[in-house]
Amino acid sequence: MTTAGELASTIGARAEQALGAACDHLIGLRSPEGWWKGELRTNVTIDAEDLLLRRFLGILDEDDTAETARWIRSRQRDDGTWATFHGGPPDLSTTVEAYTALRLAGDPPGDPHMRAAAAFVRGAGGIEATRVFTRIWLALFGQWPWERLPVLPAEMIFLPPWFPLNVHDWACWARQTIVPLTIVSAHRPVRPLPFDLAELRTGVAPPQGPRRGWEAAFDHLDRLLHRYQRRPVKRLREAALRRAAEWIVARQELDGSWGGIQPPWVYSLIALDLSGYDLRHPVMAKGIKGFERFIIRDADGRRLEACQSPVWDTALAINALLDAGIPAEHPAVTEGADWLLGEEVRCPGDWQVRRPGLPPGGWAFEFDNDVYPDTDDTAEVILALRRTHRPGVRPAIDRGVRWMTGMASRDGGFAAFDADNTRTLCEKPPFCDFGAVIDPPSADVTAHVAEALAYERPGSPALRRAVRWLIDAQEPDGSWFGRWGANHVYGTGAVVPALVAAGVATRAPCVRRAVAWLERHQNDDGGWGEDMRSYRDPSWIGRGASTASQTAWALLALLAARENSAAVERGVRWLVDHQRPDGTWDEPHYTGTGFPGDFNINYHLYRLVFPITALGRYLHAHRGDRSREDAQASKDVQAPKGGQVPWGDQVSAGDHGQEGGQALEGVR
């Protein structure tokens, strides 16, 4: 029988070669300015809605329409449908929007691909069964009656931050969408299409189960709002519409976007158009022009990215190269670090509503979404910059740590964009039937913050509370839920390295249960994968085709737990065996998450940066070659304030409930 040591000796040299090729490929992707940015591929609703937006604004270009339609057709499956992720089930709303865009591009409804799509739509319940947001788009063009859509009252803009359902109760991405939709809901515009979508209707309302509690209350409230909508208080409504438009304009980013993400961007342009903003107005002109940066044109046609991730990608790339052994003085590292320093956020944002006394700091996700920095990017940037020793790094890190720490929620966990954004009442209104609408603390974000704090503020109260939160959040099966990546593999891959960095002993029950979970869910081919369906169907948790990014996430957890097992060697072998000749990996499967269960992302750089990090850490462990910096960082973490680790060996209780309390006994 082959031992782990024998496997290691046979795979080590190949891993070295794979790592070198991967690093060369990653460095070759760097921009002249020093940043990295991989494509963020989502689904064709983004492209369909882009055509519908341009039709609504009267700026639809014939060539762009043809190229976009070619892309949409290329994503259609053999059964005539479109899905929200590679290999996923047919999605009704996505198929309706794609079909509508193709009709707009001139595809006859009698063509075979259109007949197949229409047949699926009717069989799945027709337009009547689509989500509210799809029906809003159809209502804009007279294909659905406004009277049969939930009302979003513009007057909600006046609700104070302490009042339930004020705009800041919703997550940043949701509030930026809801505010412009209140303007759209008030105007109820109809700009007819040159065709009708009768072939997509069934004439039958979808069956609805009994609605009780808050859902029933909101149904009753919606009926009252429909009555108010017919005869609103004129001066109050006019004031609300003015305030909402001003709110939107104040949050436009430098690149013309809103939050750098597609949904609030398109609805904001529609809302401002309805508010009387001419297309030549600087806000409108900048908003429309800003899309150009997000457009990709290639042999498959024209498509849009729903968002972009240069700050996140650059931080991940720098950390990956450093983990691979690239020296901190390498130009790819120094120039990337200098670019990140220039992206520090020093301006106010919506986060100050919940943390009014907190000074700005940290980093955002995109080139220009400075109104919404996030703790996840800030943590990853701090982990990268602290290893580069560039001029100006220390003050920027200190500001970032101060801001990031101040964004802790009351329970000690961390969300991405807001603190204490946890009012689940926001999920109950009838227009909230798609995507996450609040931003509560999550295990993956809290883990990244905890890992950064472990090196920057070891032993701090914020770190102690974050560790306690993570231990309490462990699932009964030993995994952690992944909010921003698929799914339990991502969550577990983030949490275990953070706990170990924070001083939790590798023999602690929480770590051992996580290791056991990962080993149980390793695929027969040696890799790991988890399908996006795991967000809705528990039978998919930990199951899916092996991917490079998810295999790397699992390895990062196992390596942090000091595993030297056949599972590790088989995972490394999978990465080596599946590397492409150019040094990267194929990864058609989606492993990034926008809205769990609803909106999925394929981060094209994930397939490269995470395998590099995993292979680099594996080879360091295999050689016993820890860098002096990592050794010193580990020493600092293991001896916070007085030389005694406040958890670690203490984390040894039997069951999950006891463990969290004993691990951080006395922490408040």
List of residues 6+ apart from 44 with CB closer than 8 A: 71, 72, 75, 82, 94, 97, 98, 101, 303
Task: Kindly calculate the radius of gyration of the chain based on its CA atoms and give it in whole angstroms.
Answer: 25
Distance CA 621, CA 615 (A): 10
Asked if 191 contacts 139 with a C-beta cutoff of 8 angstroms, the reply is no
Distance CA 211, CA 218 (A): 10
Estimate the crossing angle of helix 262-274 against helix 282-289, to 10 degrees. Answer: 150
* Sign for the pseudo-dihedral over CA of 628, 633, 639, 645: negative
Asked if 441 contacts 409 with a C-beta cutoff of 8 angstroms, the reply is yes
Does the annotation count 376 as an active-site position? yes
Q: For residue 297, what is the enclosing H or E element?
A: strand 295-298
Asked if 587 contacts 608 with a C-beta cutoff of 8 angstroms, the reply is no
In the DSSP assignment, the letter for residue 582 is T
Give me the catalytic one of 323, 376, 418, 439. 376
Backbone angles phi, psi at 159, to 5 degrees: -65, 130
Q: For residue 607, what is the enclosing H or E element?
A: helix 606-623
Q: Which residues pair with 40 in a beta bridge?
A: 603
Q: Which residues pair with 593 in a beta bridge?
A: 600
Lookup result for tokens 């967000």: 535
Question: Which amino acid, 569?
Answer: E
The token duo for 356 is: 């009014």
Q: Which residues are catalytic?
A: 376
